[in-house]
Structures are given as C-alpha cells and as structure tokens.
Amino acid sequence: MAIKCVDLISENPLAWKKATRHPFLDECRSGTIKTNQFNTWLVQDYLFVIEFTRMAARLVTIAPVKHMDILLGGLSALKDELNWFREKATERSLNLTSARQESCELYCLFLNDLKEYTYAVQSVAFWAIELAYNQAWQLPGPMVQPYNEYADRWGNQAFTEYVKMLELQANEALIEIDPETEKQLKKVFLKIADFEKDFWQMAYLDNS
Ligand code: HMH
C-alpha cells in the first residue's frame, strides 16, 4: 500500500500537535496576546508567505496538467493574501521591510531547498504547510476580535476544502514513489512540523 498524507500525521501525532497547538493561538482566541507579540507574528508571516508563494509557483512548473487548476487557484489566493497582509500592516503601522528572524529565515531557506525534491515530496510539503495553518487557526475555537479575522482567513470552509484537494493531489503523487523518496518525505514532514512550532514561538522572542 502506498503511503498517504494522513499516515504522516498519524505516525507523528506529537510533532503535529506542537505544530498546530500553541499558547500564541490560545491567547489570540481569548484576546490576551500582547499587541507587539501579535505584530511580530504578522510581519514575519508576511515575509514567510512571500517565499511560500515562490514555492507554490515552482510547484506549478513541475505539476501534472490535471493538478494545475488547484495550484493556480492557490497562487491566486496567495496574491490576495499578500495584499491583505499589506492592508493589515498599514492598519497597525507596521514596517514590512523588517528582517526575517531566525526561525522565519530557516523556514524560508528550507522552502527554497525543497526545489531539489520530486513533485511528490514538494506536493506533500505544500499540503502540510497549508494544513498546519488551517488546523492551527481552527482548533482553539471562535476567537475574539480582531483575531477572528485571522482565524477565519485560514480556518474558513473554502480553505479547508482547498487543503483537502491538495491532500488528494499529493496522495496521487505518492502512489508510485520509491523507498528513498518515502524516507525523504518523512523527514521533510517532520521538519515542517518543527518549523511551524518554532514559528509560533517567534512571537515571544523579539518584540522590538
Ligand atoms: C508559518 N505556515 C506559516 N505561515 C503560513 N501563512 C502558512 C503556513 C500557510 O499559509
């Protein structure tokens, strides 16, 4: 039996839990997150999404034709997301030209390194990164203002369906992978879980 996306989660429940449950998100739910901590996350996530968009674009160049439609929809959503980040930053008077903090920088370098891998590995990585945010912003439950807008961006039903489509496509790509690729896949998945955990923590590290 070919490995599937869900197997990666069920084989690594603790790592995935740390990726998707964090005090940062609970404090957004209750409204107790400090504004400067939230702003740190916001700016760093914008910087991350720029590199994630480049990864999405690279994925289009190697995808089978039947997978392109979903991926192009994803790119279009990323266009809106980048503009939305700029709006949020303007509302909060944030400087989007700040430097990437270490956890963001390492994650972005990793995204760039993914280009050396097969489509199967890259499509699973793309799914896992989107799913992490989809679940992380849903799991705390309804958030207070202004954080409900952020929870809705990644937790909404349409985004959930999009992530399901990414999972189906990734599973198709996994049907005929060799044992070496399967090993790479597991490592890449665990790295993503770890990067996601560190990304939440970053909000508490630097609030200059
Ligand atoms: C760190 N992971 C991180 N940021 C995001 N915006 C996503 C995943 C999903 O888009």
Domain boundaries, the chain: 5-204
Q: Is the CB of 132 under 6 A from ligand 1?
A: yes
> pTM for the complete prediction?
0.97
Residue 182 has pLDDT above 70, yes or no: yes
Domain spanning 5-204 has what CATH number? 1.20.910.10
What is the distance between the alpha carbons of residues 30 and 38, in angstroms, rounded to a whole number?
A: 13
Residue 208 has pLDDT above 60, yes or no: no
Q: Is the CB of 45 under 6 A from ligand 1?
A: yes
Q: Ligand 1 pocket check: which of 80, 154, 201 to mutate, most ligand atoms within 8 Å of Cβ?
A: 154
Taking residues 147-176, report their average pLDDT: 97
Q: What is the pLDDT of residues 62-87, one digit of tens each?
A: 999 999 999 999 999 999 999 999 99
Structure confidence at residue 206 (pLDDT): 63
Structure confidence at residue 176 (pLDDT): 86
The pLDDT mean for the chain works out to 97
Q: Ligand 1 pocket check: which of 49, 153, 159 to mutate, most ligand atoms within 8 Å of Cβ?
A: 49
Which string of DSSP letters, residue by residue, matches 7-30? HHHHH-HHHHHHHH--HHHHHHHH
Structure confidence at residue 152 (pLDDT): 98
Q: What is the pLDDT of residues 82-101, one digit of tens each?
A: 999 999 999 999 999 999 99
